[in-house]
Amino acid sequence: MSKIQAAITAVNGYVPDYILTNKELETMVDTNDEWIVSRTGISERRILKDPNKATSDLAVPAVKGLLEKRGISAEEIELIIFCTSTPDMLFPATANILADKIGAKNAWGYDLQAACSGFLFGLTTAAQFIESGKHKKVLVVGGDKMSSVVNYKDRNTCILFGDGCGCVLLEPNTEGYGLQDSILRTDGSGGQYLNIKGGGSLHPASHETVDAGLHYAYQEGRTVFKFAVTNMADVAAEVMERNNLKAEDVAWLVPHQANKRIIDATAERAGLPEEKVMVNIQKYGNTTSATIPMCLWEWESKLKKGDNLILAAFGGGFTWGSVYLKWAY
């Protein structure tokens, strides 16, 4: 029997309607459109304004649309891996909440937290369940309501992030399509440069933690930039090299959307021209776990069966990695 590989057989996404522009940010903090665009490439981002809605509410329309596209019911899903850094609550897992909201009655699931690399960690984890023969329909969701952890008085971070969700369905493939290889890495010594300190067991929520703003995302931008630019480029090049892929063999680079300058450096290192690089950071900013599946969603109609895709990410943890997959439809 031929080897079972995990192939993406459907992709979808969802972004909330509200558009937070650089112009509006100019009225909130001491910043300007020119600075934001030249340093990050971001012009606007989407925000889930309804205070009663959470990350799972970004996922519900994304997943419902995906099921419709693939023509299957929620009951057919066997496993949900929800990659997020902004779960609805500490527990139960957002995967559970989502399963209930969409009626995935036969699924088990869990949340996976690897910050901006979450989707790649989730995809690689999900693939094991397909490759082993354990499951035939696994849903991988990358979703974050970053506006729930952003301090809109901190110009260092509030200009960067947006809300959104992307999701893919993984199914077995025995014709050589799907996930081919992945390299994933973590380095906990980088945790100090990008984190949310409050609300966990180290600093449980209290008046003091809230007063100190520990519930907000904190980032030492310049340090994270240095690590991101090197590691994301290196790991993408490494996955290409060990699979004997030259730039001309790669149809698309699908990079995490944190900063246009990091994306450009990764593309340059891989020798890929800009027309082979998925970039939508200008519209959505950094949606953390959602950036890569949201790119796949936006570019779906341009993808061809057999296309070689290199996915690459870097994020809090530090976490980073790259995935090589052959598009299956």
- Maximum C-alpha span of the chain: 62
Work out whether strand 163-173 and strand 138-145 pair parallel, antiparallel, or are unpaired: antiparallel
11 binds ligand UT7 (CB under 6 A): no
221 binds ligand UT7 (CB under 6 A): yes
Nearer to ligand UT7, 225 or 252 (CB): 225
Closest of 9, 136, 141, 7 to residue 78, by C-alpha = 136
258 binds ligand UT7 (CB under 6 A): yes
**Chain centre to alpha carbon of residue 228:** 15
Can you tell me which of 169, 262, 303, 323 binds ligand UT7, judged by CB under 6 A? 262
Q: How many other β-carbons are positioned within 10 Å of the β-carbon of residue 275? A: 6
84 binds ligand UT7 (CB under 6 A): no
Can you tell me which of 18, 26, 33, 35 binds ligand UT7, judged by CB under 6 A? 35
User: Shortest gap between Cβ of 16 and ligand UT7 (angstroms)?
Assistant: 20
120 binds ligand UT7 (CB under 6 A): no
- d(C-alpha 230, C-alpha 154), whole Å: 26
Can you tell me which of 18, 31, 61, 172 binds ligand UT7, judged by CB under 6 A? 31
* Annotated catalytic residue, options 83, 116, 165, 295: 116
CA separation, residue 7 to residues 65, 107, 117, 131, 319 (Å): 19, 19, 19, 10, 24
116 catalytic residue (yes or no): yes
135 catalytic residue (yes or no): no
151 binds ligand UT7 (CB under 6 A): no
Helix (H, G, I), strand (E, B) or coil at 103: coil
Question: Could you tell me if 293 and 11 are in contact, meaning their C-beta atoms sit under 8 angstroms apart?
Answer: yes
- d(C-alpha 236, C-alpha 245), whole Å: 11
Residue 36-65 contact track with ligand UT7, rule CB under 6 A, x = bound: ---xx-------------------------
Residues forming beta bridges with residue 47, ordered by sequence position: 18
* Residue 64 parent element (H or E): helix 55-70
Residue 280-319 contact track with ligand UT7, rule CB under 6 A, x = bound: ------x---------------------------xx----
* Residue 40 parent element (H or E): helix 33-40
167 catalytic residue (yes or no): no
* Residue 80 parent element (H or E): strand 79-83
Peptide bond just before 293 cis, omega within 30 deg: no
3-state SS of the chain: helix, strand, coil percent to 5? 40, 25, 35
User: Shortest gap between Cβ of 141 and ligand UT7 (angstroms)?
Assistant: 18
Nearer to ligand UT7, 114 or 169 (CB): 114
> Looking at 2-10, 46-54, 164-172, 224-232, which segment touches ligand UT7 (CB under 6 A)?
224-232
User: Shortest gap between Cβ of 58 and ligand UT7 (angstroms)?
Assistant: 18
Site for ligand UT7 in 193-212 (CB under 6 A): none
173 binds ligand UT7 (CB under 6 A): no
By the criterion CB under 6 A, which residues form the site for ligand UT7?
Answer: 31, 35, 39-40, 116, 155-156, 159, 221-222, 224-225, 228, 258-259, 262, 286, 314-315
Catalytic residues: 116, 256, 286
